[in-house]
Amino acid sequence: MKKIILSVSIAACTLLGAQAQKVKGSDTMLPLSQKESESYMKANPSTTITVTGGGSGVGISALLEGTTDIAQASRKIKFDEKQKLQEAGKSVKEIVAAYDALAVVVHPSNKVINLTREQLEGIFTGKIKSWKEVGGDDLKIVPYSRETSSGTYEFFKESVLKNKNYMNGIMSMPATGAIIQSISQTKGAVGYVGLAYLNKDVKAIHVSYDRGKTFAEPSVANAKSQVYPIVRPLYYYYEVKSEKLVKPFMDYVLSDAGQKIVSEVGFITLK
């Protein structure tokens, strides 16, 4: 599990009357929560915030278990998760922190530039097996996915696959960085990552949701103008009873300074 710990000495913080906070969950949101935490702690030196990943489902489970103060999620809380929290006597608040365009990425040498939603569905459900079938080389397609606890896994299944099942035996990765690394080293590979993770080691595909009439590349501008179709909100969840502890940090994320960080990290601001 990828882990980022941002802290001053807990003992020193206690002496200063500080309050420690834990943020856990979505791997997609790790770079955002890390930067927001770093900036917030500079402005509030008596505060320590620990940020860890593991997936959206892991974060919401930790909120239920009381082992985190804030759950970060790249998908909306599920009905059964909300029900479990209610049964445990926990009332949660939802904050939309930013938006993210989900990018489909391939090896830089791949000749394919454009794919329709239907072609992506065929690739990730296992019906399309060679890049030759979608205008590329005669090369076996190697699809990579996030693991099932990931909100990105859930959102891609819902938006792109229209809730059809991923192919049997799909390569499942525990973190977004692992997908980027694997695709950069595998010529036939394809996967999906949050916009903030795009780099020169992979190539982003232009996607069409109108059966090939128009294709758009994943970018902040295209997501804001709604030209790019695969866009989702990024959430923070916390218990209402913890509001006094976590609200100052949540308010910071939503402030102009916090939203500037959203933009710097590579996500899409709320305004």
* CATH number reported for the structural domain that contains residue 206 in this entry: 3.40.190.10
Across 17-31, 62-76, 119-133, least confident range: 17-31
What span, in angstroms and rounded, lies between the C-alpha atoms of 151 and 173? 13
Average pLDDT over residues 232-253: 97
Q: Is it the case that residue 16 has pLDDT exceeding 80?
A: no
Indicate whether 145 and 197 sit together in one domain: yes
Kindly give, in sequence order, each residue whose CB lies less than 8 Å from that of residue 132, ignoring residues fewer than 6 positions away: 138, 139
Q: Are residues 118 and 216 in the same domain?
A: yes
Q: Mark whether 112 and 160 lie in a shared domain.
A: yes
The domain total for the chain is 2
Note whether 219 and 202 are same-domain residues.
yes
Looking at the structure, tell me whether residues 130 and 216 fall in a common domain.
yes
Q: Quick check: is 210 in a domain?
A: yes
Do 146 and 44 reside in the same domain of the chain?
no
Model pTM above 0.85 = yes
Would residue 270 count as lying in a domain?
no
Residue 162 lies in a domain: yes
Length of the chain measured in residues: 271
Same domain, 250 and 147: no
Answer yes or no: do 113 and 217 share one domain.
Answer: yes
Please say if the pLDDT value at position 181 is more than 50: yes
Is the domain of 155 the same as that of 211?
A: yes
Which helix (H) or strand (E) segment is 83 a member of?
helix 79-87
In percent, the amount of the chain with pLDDT more than 70 equals 93
For residues 214 and 208, the answer to whether their CB atoms sit within 8 Å is yes
Q: Are both 220 and 109 inside the same structural domain?
A: yes
- Structural domain boundaries, residue 201: 105-224
pLDDT at 19 (0 to 100): 79
Based on the fold, state whether residues 170 and 207 are members of the same structural domain.
yes
Confidence band, pLDDT 50/70/90 cuts, at residue 7: very low
Taking the C-alpha atoms of residue 156 and residue 260, their distance in angstroms, rounded to an integer, is 27
pLDDT at 8: 36
In a domain, 37, yes or no: yes
Closest to 71 in 3D by CA, of 80, 84, 62: 62
Average predicted confidence (pLDDT) for the chain: 93
Q: Is the same domain home to 71 and 110?
A: no
DSSP 56-75: HHHHHHHHHHTS-SEEEESS
**Is residue 229 included in any domain, yes or no?**
no
